[in-house]
Amino acid sequence: MLKWKQTFSLTLLVAVVSFFIPVFSKAADVEVKPGFYDQYVEYLNKMPAPTPLNGGPSTDLKEVIPSYRLPFSVLKVELAPGKSLSFAPGDKINLPGVLSYVWKGSDNIKKIQDLCMEKVKDEAQCKMPEAYRIPEFNNLGVYVQIFRKDATKEGQDKGDFLVDEFYSVTGETLLENDKKNFNINWAVPEELKGGNYYFLVYLNQDKSYDLLGTPLVVFSETKRFDFEVKNNASSGIELDKNNIKINGADYAYRRPAPTVKGSEVTVEVPLLNLNESEGQVTVKYDLYRWGRTNSKDLIDSKVESKILKANSGETLKYTFTPNTVDSVYDLKIKTSTDKSVSTAYARFVMDGKHRGIFRFLSFVTDGKEATPMFCLRDANWSGRFQGKVRLTLGDEKFEQEGSINADDGKCFILNNKLRVKNGECKSLKAEILDKGGNTVDSREVSINCGEKREVKVTGKITNATQTVQLNNNLIYVLILFMLLLIGGVVIIKTKNKK
């Protein structure tokens, strides 16, 4: 270990000296503080051993392509409109849809290699890493949001009005080449502003791992369905998303999640009663670590009741003290009456805090055996989480220390460890621990035990008019991925030759 640290030290020293030569030449009286060298050596000795978790080599772990994403795992959500695209308060919307999954890993790897050969004409340089096949996706969820468009200037900056969000499907399983029907059912509240509305539809696994879009990130929509609500009366309740504040600072859905300082956090949002009469409103606050799609991430929940006068409002306030572990919070505020509903959220990052989280966990296969693939990141938008990953499969256990950066695409498998033979029944527990040994994330996944599962292909949707240009987007993503990967391979191979 000392050898690589010495090499790193020499490289860094050369870089530092090269950078400061002009400064030294202009200021001959610059002095290095006493003990600098000893402090630097101590710093190097404290650095973790090089592993893929912190950018170094390893005989145990291998970084792999995040094959649960496009263009390798092609998951689709298709929607069809009902008989009408215009609804009235009290109407019930039934929106049919189809989920499908096709594995394209081998095909697209070959396309990447062929494109590389056309450009580079060197088989060694064009050798691609393997994309590991995911035989099935379990515990899928279809997450739905309903928005009302805000055509004002504030809407362009601060987003649209969120009415409600919920799961229309949970616990679904998709095998390769599988298709399954589902339905989104939503009753239009009896008191709801007229205007242009839309559904946003997302697909996730275990209510945590985003497969198609995510409601937690700005502009990440996948499938959208537009409709109109006709209501001449301005009625119901509404949270004023244009005036949300976090510790006094403006918050907007369409801006990146802000970084918040302080030992206490207060979120404020005005609640408006649009009715001509006084009414009672139920307010529910749900505070989540990382994201609000998984009830297991719920930290705190509070319900209160408000009496609002006619055509008036009140500013809601929620205050909490951040804990020592979590670095990203998501506060959901849902207000409701027996005839109306309005929702808002505030997602933010705590300054200087870091937490490691899993972004995907599954068994993958090379055709002979199955092995765990795990993807992880620092929950913050930048920086690194220092800690340990622990995997337990039956009686086998694997641990590795390192630093986890904020890159959402870091995925790994183990080399010749934690392997599962075809037909075996096993469950994997994955944990991330901080430097103090505290568990900051824990997930579990089971393998299919070798059961023969029938692939059920259901009916197609033929009359969909609200569509997303998914096919074109897939082409663009694939081409961009190819070019980036080829460029990286060429640079790496060139460096290795030197």
pLDDT in tens, 78-129: 998 767 799 999 999 999 999 999 999 888 888 888 888 888 888 888 887 7
The architecture of the domain spanning 356-446 is: Sandwich (2.60)
Q: Sorting pLDDT into bands at 50, 70 and 90, what band is 130?
A: confident
Contact 217, 81 (CB under 8 A): no
C-alpha span between 446 and 428 (Å, rounded): 6
Per-residue pLDDT for 322 more than 80?
yes
C-alpha span between 41 and 37 (Å, rounded): 6
Residue 493 DSSP label: H
The architecture of the domain spanning 62-355+465-498 is: Sandwich (2.60)
pLDDT in tens, 387-444: 999 999 988 999 988 888 887 778 999 888 898 887 788 899 999 999 999 999 999 9
Contact 305, 337 (CB under 8 A): no
pLDDT at 123: 85
Closest CA to 208 of 330, 44, 305: 330
Torsion of CA 252, 255, 261, 266, to 10 degrees: 20
Q: CA 44, 47, 52, 54 torsion: positive or negative?
A: negative
What are phi and psi for residue 103, nearest 5 degrees? -85, 120
Per-residue pLDDT for 245 more than 60?
yes
Cα first-last separation, the chain? 24
Residues present in the chain in total: 498
pLDDT at 490: 43
Specify the amino acid at residue 460. K
In the chain, list all ranges with CATH 2.60.40.10.
Answer: 62-355+465-498, 356-446
Report the share of the chain in percent with pLDDT over 90.
54
C-alpha span between 102 and 133 (Å, rounded): 11
Q: CA 256, 257, 261, 265 torsion: positive or negative?
A: positive
* Cβ density class 264-275: b for 16+ within 10 Å, e for less: ebebbbbbbbbb
- The predicted model scores a pTM of 0.81
Name the CA radius of gyration of the chain, rounded: 26
Q: CA 146, 271, 254, 65 torsion: positive or negative?
A: negative
Token output for 8: 């790193």
Q: Is 365 exposed, middle or buried (0-12, 13-18, 19+ CB in 10 A)?
A: middle
DSSP 82-135: -S-SEE-TT-EEEEEEEEEEEE-HHHHHHHHHHHHHHHH--TTTTPPPP--B--
* Higher local confidence (pLDDT), 64 or 203: 203
C-alpha span between 257 and 487 (Å, rounded): 32
Mean pLDDT over all residues of the chain? 81
CA angle 440, 446, 449 (to 5 degrees): 165
